[in-house]
Amino acid sequence: MSPAQPLKSTTDSSNGDQPQSNAEPDKPVHHTESVRRSRAKTFLVVFMGHSGSTAFTTELREHSEFLVEKLEPLDHDEYEFNTNLALQQAEQIMDRGIQQGKIPGFKIRPFHILNKPQLWKDFVRAYDCRIIWQYRENIIKQAIGEYRSRYLNDTSVIEGLSPDEKPCDPSSDQRCTFRIDDMRFLHSLMNSMSSSDELLANAVRALGRNEDMSIVRYEDYLYRRERTMRETFDFLGVDWQQTAPQRQKASPDNLCKMVKNFQDVCDRFLPCLLWRPYLYDDVNNCRCKPGNWTNFDPSFCKRNSWFQGK
């Protein structure tokens, strides 16, 4: 992938497969032209949850040029809320990889970066990090994944399944088809995912690596995986190697098949310009039917719900 360009205007609908909402925050520009770069020194995958980052980063770990000791070494345990300690650990990880002649890297959430942005800006400059901005376009699908985890207690959607596990295995606790009974909770999660997109954008901007940044969109990785990996390897300056993700998707991508009352979701959110683009899924031929909207609640069209105020 070629280096990132200035952020796309929110009114530009020419990007990718998904329609854009003019009420959404700026999205990163997606690149389709692959340009081979010089060999990277280090890399960071900046991400938020339910965006395919685990599967994607395990593919980087499979490549012989990279060293990924842990997928998320700074977002858990004693490092989770201690940014100074996290920075020390990050330096040690990068130093070990460089000493081994590898390209070290890992994935990281925005928290530490936004907590002390200047320190992280200095860090990525010192280690000449290339930044991969990894995000998911469809906020409603992202929120429904979180709903499945938090409301239905299905933990399989958090990090996906191992290669030997069977998706939607009826003998497991996986909830691949279900009803969404708490629309207000779903709305709060949609707001949360939308806010997370802004945090993610602010974090990658704070690093100041626009000329050494690439975009990996979940939808491209899901449906055009090999092309996405080829572009990523070009961006990081390494030869193509056949890799495979060590985690697989735990749920269908088709909401019409996964959500038993998908039309109820449509009736609640389709009237909202903010959410409407994410209910059109031409790839899976899943679209809302005309509804009567008798239960429409205008508060669902707002980005700030009761949940975020708690």
Grade residue 103 by pLDDT with cuts at 50, 70 and 90.
very high
262 in helix, strand or coil? helix
105 bridge partner residues: 43
Neighbours of 118 (CB within 10 A): 9
Question: Encoding tokens for residue 240?
Answer: 């193509």
> Is 42's pLDDT higher than 90?
yes
> Is 98's pLDDT higher than 90?
yes
Sequence letter at residue 45: V
Grade residue 50 by pLDDT with cuts at 50, 70 and 90.
confident
pLDDT tens readout for residues 214-264: 999 999 999 999 999 999 999 999 999 999 998 777 778 899 999 999 999
Residue 252, pLDDT score: 80
Name the percent of the chain in helix, strand, coil, to the closest 5.
45, 10, 45
Rounded Cα gap, residues 193 and 191, in angstroms:
5
pTM summary value: 0.82
Rounded Cα gap, residues 86 and 82, in angstroms:
6
> Is 191's pLDDT higher than 90?
yes
> Is 34's pLDDT higher than 80?
no
Question: Regarding predicted confidence, which is higher, 175 or 20?
Answer: 175
Grade residue 114 by pLDDT with cuts at 50, 70 and 90.
very high
Q: Whole-angstrom distance between the N-terminal and C-terminal Cα of the chain?
A: 40
> Is 49's pLDDT higher than 90?
no
Grade residue 23 by pLDDT with cuts at 50, 70 and 90.
very low
CB 58 within 8 A of CB 154: no
User: To the nearest whole number, what is the mean pLDDT of the chain?
Assistant: 85
> Is 62's pLDDT higher than 50?
yes
Compute φ and ψ for 247, nearest 5 degrees: -130, 145
Residue 169, pLDDT score: 65
> Is 14's pLDDT higher than 70?
no
Question: Regarding predicted confidence, which is higher, 117 or 22?
Answer: 117
Residue 78, pLDDT score: 96
* 139: Cβ contacts below 8 Å, ≥ 6 apart: 190, 193, 194, 197, 275, 278
Residues in the chain: 310
Residue 29, pLDDT score: 55
Residue 162, pLDDT score: 73
Spacing of C-alpha 203 from chain mean position: 14
Q: Topology of 42-309 in CATH?
A: Rossmann fold (3.40.50)
Share of the chain above pLDDT 90, in %: 66
Residue 156, pLDDT score: 72
- What 3 state SS string does 25-71 have? CCCCCCCCCCCCCCCCCEEEEECCCCCCHHHHHHHHHHCCCEECCCC
Grade residue 33 by pLDDT with cuts at 50, 70 and 90.
low
Residue 173, pLDDT score: 62
pLDDT tens readout for residues 262-304: 999 999 999 999 999 999 999 999 999 887 777 788 989 987 6
